[in-house]
Amino acid sequence: MPTSTAHKARKRFGQNFLTDEKIIDRIIATIAPKVDDNLLEIGPGQGAMTLPLLEKVECLNVIEIDRDLIQILTSYNKPNLIINEGDALNFDLNQFNPPIRVVGNLPYNISSPILFHLLENRDKIIDMTFMLQKEVVERMVAKHNSKIYGRLSVMMQAFFNVEMIFIVPPESFDPAPKVDSAIVYLTPLKQCKVANIAIFEKVVKAAFAHRRKTLRNCLKSLLTQEQTQIDLSQRAEMLDVDTFITLAKDYEKQH
């Protein structure tokens, strides 16, 4: 098992390496890899999850941005490990022989952009199992009428079934992050009701731009009360995901 003493963790790449064997075992059990799965790991680091995964699958693709870590991964000499150097935010998922299962202990500083990049590629994805900050996972699964329900909750739940699986304490990493983490499991919805993703995103973003203001105020440049049956005197956090989908369709009808 590699140790983090071999590599000085880089903050700018969000490096917190998993060291807790029990947690690693639980994550692998959650992923439950099958031998012929097309697995893609984002941010393999020194291989805390990669090495146990390699024992279960015929072939594993990883994307890593840090050249020093690529050297470490290469030194393991694993014939079934395909190392892709680069930025997970710019990777074309088509090159990984879809449909794929995506996994990773994600760099926390760019976890939302990675989730949005994957959302745009969801048709190529079977499921995703990620470690994220617990607070981010709580926002992803939050329901309407809660203070933490927001853009991330609506955008994720409109396209995925999202489930928090278990919480991981800071001591499970080296260096230890300041906050708790959590494992989240996402599967693309079979029947996604969103008609136009760009329009949906625009409406959701505008609706949550000022949480304390009414929708009438937040959406004034997009849509008036006459153009929708949805009561715009409400605030964004009061609308469930399906109502946002209707609102976006009402906006689309006008444009």
Report 187-206 residues binding ligand SAM (CB under 6 A).
Answer: none
Q: Residue 37: name the closest of 51, 53, 52 by CA.
A: 53
Of 121 and 246, which has the nearer Cβ to ligand SAM? 121
CB of 113 to ligand SAM, least distance (A): 9
Q: Which part of the chain contacts ligand SAM (CB under 6 A), choosing from 12-20, 121-129, 163-171, 237-245?
A: 12-20
Of 31 and 194, which has the nearer Cβ to ligand SAM? 31
Check: CB of residue 60 under 8 Å from CB of residue 37: no
Report 57-116 residues binding ligand SAM (CB under 6 A).
Answer: 63-66, 69, 87-89, 105, 107, 110
Which stretches of the chain are DSSP H helices? 21-31, 50-54, 67-75, 111-120, 134-141, 151-159, 197-207, 215-218, 241-253
Report 33-52 residues binding ligand SAM (CB under 6 A).
Answer: 42-45, 48-49
CB of 28 to ligand SAM, least distance (A): 12
Residue 166's region, left for phi above 0, alpha for psi from -120 to 50, else beta, is beta
Q: Which part of the chain contacts ligand SAM (CB under 6 A), choosing from 10-18, 145-153, 161-169, 246-254?
A: 10-18
Amino acid at 53: L
Strand order in 39-42's β-sheet?
81-85, 60-64, 39-42, 100-105, 125-133, 181-188, 160-168
Q: Under the criterion CB under 6 A, does residue 184 sit at the interface with ligand SAM?
A: no
Residue 186 CB-density burial (10 A; 0-12 exposed, 13-18 middle, 19+ buried): buried
Report 110-169 residues binding ligand SAM (CB under 6 A).
Answer: 110
Task: Return residues touching ligand SAM (CB under 6 A).
Answer: 13-18, 42-45, 48-49, 63-66, 69, 87-89, 105, 107, 110
